Amino acid sequence: ALGFTWRSSSNWIPAGFCACDLDRTAGDRAMTKVSPQDFSGVSRTQLMELFEQENRANTEKLEALGGLEKLIANLHTHPTKGISGDDIEQRIAAFGGNFFAEKKLTPYWQYCLNAMQDHVLILLTVMATLTLVTALLSDHTAEELPEPIALYMSVFLIVNVTSYIDWSRERMFVEVSKKLLQSNTKTVIRNGEPVLLADREIVVGDVVSFNAHNAQSIPADGILLQGVDVKIDESSLTGEPDAIKKDAETPFIIAGSTVSTGSGKMLVTCVGESSVGGRIKAAVYSADAEESEGSPMTLKLEKLAHNISFFGLAVSALCLFGMIIIQFGVNGDTKTWWPDLTRFIITAITILAVVVPEGLPFAVTLSLAFSARRLGTLSNLVKELKSCETMGSATTICSDKTGTLTANRMTVRGAYVAGISHMPDSAESEPIGIRIKQKTSEAVKDILGRLLCICTMDESSLGAPGENVFKGNPTECALLVLAESLGYDYRKVRAETKGRSEQTLKDGKVIMFSSARKMMSWAVPKEDGGWRIYCKGASEVVMSRCTKTQASESGEDMVATALEPEAVTQIEETVIHAFASKAMRTIGVAYRDFDSKPDFDAVSSTITNQDGTPAQEVETELTLIGIMGIEDPLRPEVPGAIEKCYTAGIDVRMVTGDNLETAVAIAKACGILRDEHFAINETGGPPQMKKFRAMEGKEFRTYVHQTVNGEQVFNQDKFDEIWPYLRVLARSSPEDKLTLAKGLNASMLFKNTERCQQLEKEGIKIFPDRQVVAMTGDGTNDAPALKKADVGFAMGQAGTQVAKDAADIVLLKDNFADIVVAALWGRNVYESISKFVQFQLTVNIVAVTVAVVGAFYKQDSPLAATQMLWVNLIMDSLASLALATEPPTEDMLRRPPVNRSKSMITKSMWTNMLGHALYQAVVLLFLLFAFPDIGGMPQGTDYVKGLHYFKNVDWMPEEAKNSCLYLDPDWEATAEWPDKNEPRPCTDTKIQERYAQCVDDPDRDEQDDEYKCSYFGGDHKYWKPNPTKAPSLHYTIIFNTFVVMTLFNEINSRKLHGEVNVFHNITANPYFASIFVLIALFQGIVGAIPLGEGGRFIKVYGDGMGGMYWLMALLIGLGVLVWQQIFVNIVKKIVVPAAEL
């Protein structure tokens, strides 16, 4: 125990009391509000210098400041009461806050610059520049200039959309980090009362309480004020592998270190960037954070994107060489070779841009970020984005009991004290404390009350009377409530007990709880001489250490009798088993008296701890006071959540430190253990547990390990024998959790077909792939298991800092139901990405098909470069946003998890993609080859529509019959005919002049059916050459129809499993509806509304398509929805067996 004082000689010496014995008046000013200038007695720099050298040199610097007592006075604090809390801002102004200046976020322009590094966008920019130069040197500059401008605008739009998403994502991570920091809390003494504060709220002068039971990380640099067996792990900062003892000689504690053993209080002297760890962090703070490795799905998608990109490169190269050979070789047309070559290259690059699924990684990140943000609002703080996706594939959840399945609201409901049982189902209505007082002697009541007050941690405390507020360990808080009902104020008892009060801690001895011992002890000197050690812990552990039991005789004196084996058996059967069967945790309480101060280092030669190490001698030969039955009610939402897990193909296993009967009772109540886990009792009694369904940690460890060369070695084959059955692991250790995580993760049992068939006959179906393990934990020793598991969940309220650091997700409410929520959203991530892949690859297939056919047939793609870039924008950005933000549905928990090795593209997805690609490709090729003759329009962009003669057509108005409509964009209005689109008599002079010009045109090929002069009679058309490649009505119709079909197929892509109702839950995603309407409106503007010369920017017909062709495109788009139903109800269910999909 630490005990030291500051003598006038200014020498550090071991002493008989702790720093709290300092002059109390020196710290009384802590209760008065101060200003920065009041801290003139000590500076931030002087405080930082205390931690710059070895401890001995540091103590000398502390002496130079006047010693610890003077430092406390200068900091206006108090060794036991702390600061008042009224001067926080002044302290931050003087010494800084316990936080860091926020890292400068990446500016938006940097994201734009990074986005421009994409090789396809670079190629497009280069070609846009070449096209611009060509246009400026051309005789048709005005007509050709819009195309390079449109290319620049497309690149600009794609770059900014991508940059904005990345820019927003970085800011989202900042928000998550801030939430995580808020979950890091410590117990701080202010105004004499313990309060729970976030690390960033701690200031210089605070008194922080810590202990090894919670394995707290130290939040700031400080000086030990008082402590018991304090050892600090500084390896993360100094590299020192062994924990360092902290006492009067070495009282300096640095931020970022972890408490290994003991407990105590420290005076905070340096915070934030002034602390040792803070200065190290600040030195590297400007370095970029290390990128986490991609998740399995991300890596799978990147491989898919690579393969598709390679295919796209091959197709674009084939198209480029094909267009060059046909145009310049076969046709021999080299008159406009440079503009043609430029156009061919742009077309090839654009095909590559459309084929390359650059939106896949983007969609993954967007979906993960969206899910992480939503999970944050649902009490899941996601630290690693990839854990969202991984959780969707979880096949096993290994969950703690206390606080996760239960409410962590402990109450002593039953007790066995000095031979008298107080059962929870007793007809007596009085509280348990009243019943114990009525039936127990004063002497027994006194030792029980004092034990509960003394043998509990300082961090465990209750709020003011009537508040019913627990602070610290819930189990200990329940015991303190019992102590109060017995008439004992734990604050008063602690303060008046030598060896337990803050002033006399060094006169006592605390042996903190450890998972190896499963008990805690506190030894104090007795008033009449001698010593007494109070012990509490797991009931069977405490019972095994007891040789006597407290008798129930009344009176002032206590009477103890030998604890015979028959009595032990009776207590186990009538008390412990009875409490455990009602899902109560059983805590044993005992004591032992010594005539003199015992040897706390002595160990027993016969009794061992739970981990096999020798027990401490002082914790043996105890006298049993009683057994406490503590109830922790099951969370009401847990049974429903566990039922969802089983429906979703997720096994749930309880891993708890409670005894087997308590664990089984809770497991039955919440649905982990079900009827199939029990066998009929042939004797007519209650059902019996089947083999391996519930085990204790000791039995589990023995079974799955074998001795090799004197060492215990894990045996995977033995583990595979039991894990398919195992549902409850009781009295487990953190090492058992790690064994579970390793064993489940490494198991290849699914490859053993014979064993899997045998298990299936027993009603156990083995998942056909490696297990994906989710593990919960709250203690420091749980950290290795949390790291090893595929997804580690730490408790936000009860978890230690080390556990939170090791976990992937922090459960802010410590609730099992929130794990199921994470699984639901994880599955949603996978499905959202699958929807996007299905949508994008369908568009890719159609776009490439049409572009390739057009390139070889007309040496020009029906879809212009700017048009395909617009489609690319729909795919990569808007569609990913629409589909990646789809909310989950409960149906996702009615399907089994996705295999680790399963292909991203399922047979069902292939059917959807090829089916819709077939529909769309057939429609577009029909429009490309057959529709011009049907619609009476030029094909492609080689010619523009001129003169058209309308004979007596029934649908035409009377005034338009036997008249001509001249559609030449060069036609100028006259006074006689102000509207150039108004029908005119065919005898009009201007029209006849145009006909004559057509006949005399030397470039006209009379054999070319598409280039002919017509006037009266028959099919009257006047098509003239289109050297500037002005946008045509024909290709505008193709483009518009393609986008509309793509838009409606986005609705179909919302479903992956052959669902009939593709509109189900569509209103739940406002992003989808907004993006759908936005694209439809924009497409309506570029397709239907006359844009004049502005149409050249996006290569659409300047006079607009008109309502008729837009209606046609809309009907064809609706046909996509009809085609989906044909596939769902006919092709998938009849032609292709549903089982194969």
Catalytic positions, written as ranges: 400
Residues in a beta bridge with 258: 217, 233
- In order, the DSSP letters of 979-998 are -TTS-EETT-HHHHHHHHHH
Decide if 339 contacts 130 (C-beta within 8 A). Answer: no
Reduced 3-state DSSP string for 1063-1127: CCCHHHCHHHHHHHHHHHHHHHHHHHCCCHHHHHHCCCCCCCCCHHHHHHHHHHHHHHHHHHHHH
| CA separation for the pair 217, 212 (Å, rounded) | 9
Residues in a beta bridge with 533: 523, 592
Q: 3-class SS at 422?
A: strand
Pairing of strands 519-525, 12-14: unpaired
Query: In the numeric block, which tokens belong to residue 756?
Result: 């899997």
| CA separation for the pair 78, 22 (Å, rounded) | 9
Query: In the numeric block, which tokens belong to residue 1002?
Result: 């030397």
Dihedrals phi, psi of 611, to nearest 5 degrees: -90, 5
**Alpha-helical regions (H) of 378-473:** 386-392, 432-439, 442-454
| CA separation for the pair 1045, 1033 (Å, rounded) | 18
Residues in a beta bridge with 886: none
| CA separation for the pair 999, 1006 (Å, rounded) | 9
Residues in a beta bridge with 253: 222
Residue 465 DSSP label: T
Give the list of residues 6+ apart from residue 413 with CB closer than 8 angstroms, or none. Answer: 424, 432, 582, 584, 629, 630, 631
- In order, the DSSP letters of 710-745 are TEEEE-HHHHHHHTTT--EEES--HHHHHHHHHHHH
Give the H/E segment covering residue 626: strand 622-631
Query: In the numeric block, which tokens belong to residue 890?
Result: 């409960």
Decide if 994 contacts 946 (C-beta within 8 A). Answer: yes
| CA separation for the pair 160, 902 (Å, rounded) | 35
Q: Cα 995 to the chain's mean position, in Å?
A: 72
| CA separation for the pair 632, 579 (Å, rounded) | 12
| CA separation for the pair 785, 802 (Å, rounded) | 12
Give the list of residues 6+ apart from residue 570 with CB closer than 8 angstroms, or none. Answer: none
Pairing of strands 943-950, 809-811: unpaired
Query: In the numeric block, which tokens belong to residue 400?
Result: 């703690």
Reduced 3-state DSSP string for 157-221: HHHHHHHHHHHHHHHHHHHHHHHHHHCCEEEEEECCEEEEEEHHHCCCCCEEEEECCCCCECCCE
Handedness of CA 231, 233, 234, 235 (dihedral sign): positive
Decide if 55 contacts 250 (C-beta within 8 A). Answer: yes
Residue 888 DSSP label: P
Pairing of strands 773-777, 396-399: parallel
Give the list of residues 6+ apart from residue 1083 with CB closer than 8 angstroms, or none. Answer: 1040, 1043, 1044, 1047
